[in-house]
Structure 1
Amino acid sequence: MAATQLLIHAPTEDALKRAQNNARNLLKLENDAQVEIIVNGPAAKIAVIITDSDIVSRLVLCGNSLKAQELAAQAEAKVVDAAVQYLAHKQSQGWAYIRA
């Protein structure tokens, strides 16, 4: 069976907290799972101060949200132009989507 590929969308601060827990829980069960936490909107201001390196390496931050809030991402985090476009492309490649 192929490894799980999961996008966890976190547009709010509370959703980002849930997304981190969701990612950790899945990875405990499936250590080969591919998990990305897609962050946009108000969650961006919390995402840029996360220090857990495993979580930071799974973050995909919306460039539009970062720009609008004048935020800078951690070097280890991925930044995309628009979260909506990234989510659409990854889903078309077969990745599962949940909103935290």
Structure 2
Amino acid sequence: MDLSEIDNLHVVLHAPTPDALARARNNAVNLLKDAPQANVRIIVNSKAVAATLDDPNSETDAITWVCPNTLKNLDRCVSAPLRVLAQGAVSELVKMQSEGWFYIRA
């Protein structure tokens, strides 16, 4: 089966490090080429938060969500199109998996 044939495809890419962020960004772009209908999110926490803020990416920032706990610890804020999660990254990842999202650790 081709990925473009899957309805309601939800994929969350978890990036806790700068290297994982780079992989997640590449994975998201490639996945969306293969499955443009997919709902893809990149969730960043830990050291990947500073990397996200310091190195914007026009292709993936609109689907990137930042951990509020790490953001607070860094005393930084985000600007659009980046978004802040309503709860910590780990809690959000658990919630998303319980809702049927496919989890990929980048």
TM-score (norm 2): 0.87
AA of the residue aligned to 2:72: K
Does the 8 Å contact 1:57/1:77 carry over to 2?
Answer: yes
Matches within 5 A, 1:5-16: 5-16=10-21
Tell me the SS of whatever aligns to 2:59.
helix
1:50 Cα deviation from its structure 2 partner? 3.8
Matches within 5 A, 1:1-100: 1-80=6-85, 81-100=87-106
Q: Flag structure 2 segments of 5+ consecutive residues without an equivalent.
A: 1-5
AA of the residue aligned to 1:72: C
The percentage of counterpart residues that share the same residue type is 41
Aligned residue-pair number: 100
The structure whose Rg is larger is 2
Does the 8 Å contact 1:50/1:56 carry over to 2?
Answer: no
Distance in 2 between residues matched to 1:54 and 1:3, nearest whole Å: 22
What is the alpha-carbon root mean square deviation over aligned residues? 1.2
Aligned structure 1 segments of 4 or more residues deviating by more than 6 angstroms: none
AA of the residue aligned to 2:20: A
Tell me the SS of whatever aligns to 1:54.
coil
